Amino acid sequence: MAAPKPGKRVRGSATGRPIMALLDLLGRRMALRILWELRDGPLNFRALQEAAATNPSVLNARLAELREARLVEHGPDGYALTPLGQSLLATLLPLHAWAEDWAKALGRRRLG
Amino acid sequence: MAAPKPGKRVRGSATGRPIMALLDLLGRRMALRILWELRDGPLNFRALQEAAATNPSVLNARLAELREARLVEHGPDGYALTPLGQSLLATLLPLHAWAEDWAKALGRRRLG
DNA sequence: CTCCTCTGCTACTATTTCCATAGCACAGAA
DNA sequence: TTCTGTGCTATGGAAATAGTAGCAGAGGAG
């Protein structure tokens, strides 16, 4: 499937508004995860496949979309975040802390 | 499919780490979008379906997961973010501004 | 050159998920 | 009783994902 980009029609929205294109792009399997796994530096195809616990077909599809979206690029050390991708990851980093709080909030009634 | 929750095995990760459960939960069609569409207040099932431009089966599946994750609840005015959901949305709000910057960055070479 | 390894990726089938539409069940109002 | 609004289920076909196998090119070693 074509990579969602601002200005283009995307799944779930014909307006092409950037936020909708972004939500479509990130709402695909392993898209968020791939960005996440690249947070500490480049990984090659197979290392990324292992880190994200996925298969080459999905990984390759997501990489193509993320590269088209200019969030990821392929360099000498493997796949890496572009400056744009790094800035997106920076806005997503608070998710990590949030997820920990979420686990605690659920745990108070589910895990004891 | 079961809703991903911290402490449980999720798609793409057997560790149950909260961030992985969250990335799985949010990496499903319309999950991010639903949270986004509820940002200004409650919407009933059909209004939400229209706002997110989806169909009842997917909407219902996502709502069940989001309710189980305690991010969304069903009240007298329809579906609304819980306090937990609101805090998650708050951490996601910077995405909107980022998406606009992204569009400009891509536009400089794609849209002129 | 030949063989080996590493890397990026394609092929293929099975399964899961999603799309799109139709329609049911219940509640309240008229 | 009929009508409307709301939440949701059913269904069949389309699309995405899972999981495994394997190919092609770029080195390096012999």
**pLDDT greater at residue A75 or residue A112:** A75
pLDDT at B108 over 80: no
Cα A105 to Cα A56, A94, B23, B75: the distances in Å are: 36, 17, 17, 20
Strands B72-75 and B78-81: antiparallel
Confidence of residue A112 (pLDDT cuts 50, 70, 90): very low
pLDDT (tens digit per residue) in B2-38 = 788 887 777 777 677 898 888 888 888 899 999 999 9
Strands A78-81 and B78-81: unpaired
A28 touches strand D (CB under 7 A): yes
End-to-end Cα spacing for chain B: 43
Q: Across all residues in chain A, what is the average pLDDT?
A: 90
pLDDT (tens digit per residue) in A33-44 = 999 999 999 999
Q: Where are the alpha helices (DSSP H) in B52-93?
A: 56-68, 83-92
Interface test with chain A among B29, B84, B91, by most A beta carbons within 10 Å? B91
How far is B103 from B82, CA to CA, in rounded Å?
31
Q: Which residues of A touch B92 (CB under 8 A)?
A: 95
- What integer pLDDT is reported at residue B3 of this predicted model? 84
Give yes or no for a contact between A5 and A21, defined as CB atoms under 8 angstroms apart: yes
Summarize the confidence of residues B95-101 as an average pLDDT. Answer: 93
A89 SS3 class: helix
- What integer pLDDT is reported at residue A111 of this predicted model? 47
- What integer pLDDT is reported at residue B1 of this predicted model? 67
Summarize the confidence of residues B64-70 as an average pLDDT. Answer: 95
Q: Rounded to a whole number, what is the distance in Å from the CA of B94 to chain A's nearest CA? A: 6
**pTM summary value:** 0.89
Bridge-partner residues for A13, per DSSP? A10
B49 SS3 class: helix
- Report yes or no: A87 at the B interface, CB cutoff 8 Å: yes
A49 Cβ contact list (under 8 Å, min separation 6): A55, A56, A59
Cα A9 to Cα A65, A91, B87: the distances in Å are: 15, 24, 29
Q: Which residues of A touch B34 (CB under 8 A)?
A: none
pLDDT (tens digit per residue) in A31-83 = 999 999 999 999 999 999 999 999 999 999 999 999 999 999 999 999 999 99
B61 touches strand C (CB under 7 A): yes
How far is A15 from A59, CA to CA, in rounded Å?
28
How far is A94 from B12, CA to CA, in rounded Å?
21
Cα B106 to Cα A6, A67, B67: the distances in Å are: 8, 12, 36
Confidence of residue A20 (pLDDT cuts 50, 70, 90): confident
Instruction: Give the helix/strand (H/E) hosting B74.
Output: strand B72-75
Q: Rounded to a whole number, what is the distance in Å from the CA of B9 to chain A's nearest CA? A: 13
Summarize the confidence of residues A23-29 as an average pLDDT. Answer: 89
- What integer pLDDT is reported at residue B6 of this predicted model? 85
- Report yes or no: B8 at the A interface, CB cutoff 8 Å: no
Confidence of residue A9 (pLDDT cuts 50, 70, 90): confident
A50 touches strand C (CB under 7 A): no
Q: Across all residues in chain B, what is the average pLDDT?
A: 89
Q: Which residues of A touch B105 (CB under 8 A)?
A: 70, 84
Residues 58-97 of B with CB under 7 A from strand D: 60, 63, 74, 78-79
Q: Rounded to a whole number, what is the distance in Å from the CA of B77 to chain A's nearest CA? A: 24
Q: Which of A53, A70, A96 sits opposite B19 (nearest CB)?
A: A96
Cα B5 to Cα A39, A72, A79, B38, B80: the distances in Å are: 23, 28, 29, 21, 20
Confidence of residue A11 (pLDDT cuts 50, 70, 90): confident
